[in-house]
Structure 1
Amino acid sequence: MPPIPADFGPVLVVAAHHDDEVLGCGGVLARLARAGHDVHVAILGEGATCRLDDGDEAAKAALVRLQQEQARRAAAILGARAVHFGDLPDNRFDSLPLLDVVRRVEALVREVGPGLVLTHHHGDLNVDHAVTARAVLTAARPLPDRTTRAVLSFEAPSSTEWAFGLPGSPFRPTLFVDIAEHLQAKLEALAAYGDEMRPFPHPRSAEAVRHLAALRGATAGRTAAEAFEILHWTM
């Protein structure tokens, strides 16, 4: 990726769900953290309401605690400095006014002061991903008083590639980042999520993640890479 100047400030990834941050850009997060950048992970969704029966509040609270602990373990493996959790309703981000989501992200941007922000592709099949992408683009727009100088979108296996025929542009990567030395850290971080991973040939399997890294790497003449669309970049 283009060299990030020292004055770029922290790096912030804004993901809709637990494990999206690792699937989409775990290798890059590990690479940036090991290069000395302060990496922050933000997960907007609470991750429980669509999985359990309504009214089972104790079970939902237990699941939220488990997922947050898994996210902290994954972040530690990647070298992230902090994890920020939201409470947006799982797979129901579109039930909220977009302005409410934008304000959540704006608060994160003010708190972290990132120079680089990474988030979902706006055309993903998962509605939470699409809402997150739109909110980040709004919250991190390049205003004179904002710290953000670059925004990238990543691909999330089992969502980006499954948006068959949906309106809007498909994911067309314009940046390929070598993660050959950091692929193992990405896989270990994904393993921290336990049952979130699936057996091959599901896209969210360790084997599929390796294959995608190899494909994106081969596209750019590397053995392993992650792919991104550059939404804006100011040097």
Structure 2
Amino acid sequence: MQSFPAMQAGAMALVYALVPAAHAASADLLTGNTRLACEATLCLSTGAQPSECSPSLNHYFDIKKYSHGGLDWSATVSARRAFLSQCPASSDQGMPERIDAISRGAGKCDPDYLNRTYAATAYRWRKRSLGGDSGDIIYDVHAIPTVSLDKLPAYCVTYNDHAWTYDLSVRYVGVPAMGGHWVNAQAYTAAQAKWDADHRGRWASGWNFSLKNPRPATNSR
């Protein structure tokens, strides 16, 4: 992955960083949606987004298509792809694939989206016998907030792992049955250490873990 140091130099630097030499002569003339499309393409290729990215990102994420009262994701992707394709560099080698990856993945591959979309409930549980002649068994069950998806969707892998992407990677902390979740890759080491401290040792000893409630439907305890 490559860095984008020019992003710190202001909005025009964003355009020059994306527009190759073949288009550089006209970079000063880029305005309106053409300029926003170039800036958005670059801004959506890095997690280190300066304030200059706000206008283009707001425009990009405001592009939404609806059908039957709900968001039509396929049509939204197509419309966002069409917007990014207004950048003069969009037809250069490798750019159509890059723009397609951005339009499918941007906004759907960050920790907030993944943790919210795939939020689920896991269970820490054990069975205990009441003893005596009855032989009754009770289930001691505790619900745990978790994120069930621990592997990135294919469109996120394509978006995050592209050679022109910088600082977009995310990683999964823990395991789904024990309260796992997504974090930015830079925060992974600290987050994993905290998860280990919170979810190992006495907390886990003697307990079972599952994504399905283990209590039998007929068990009311």
Q: Normalising by structure 2, report the TM-score.
A: 0.28
Q: Normalising by structure 1, report the TM-score.
A: 0.27
Larger Rg: 2
Task: Name the structure where helix makes up a greater proportion of residues.
Answer: 2
Structure with the bigger RCO (C-alpha within 8 Å, sep 6+) is: 1
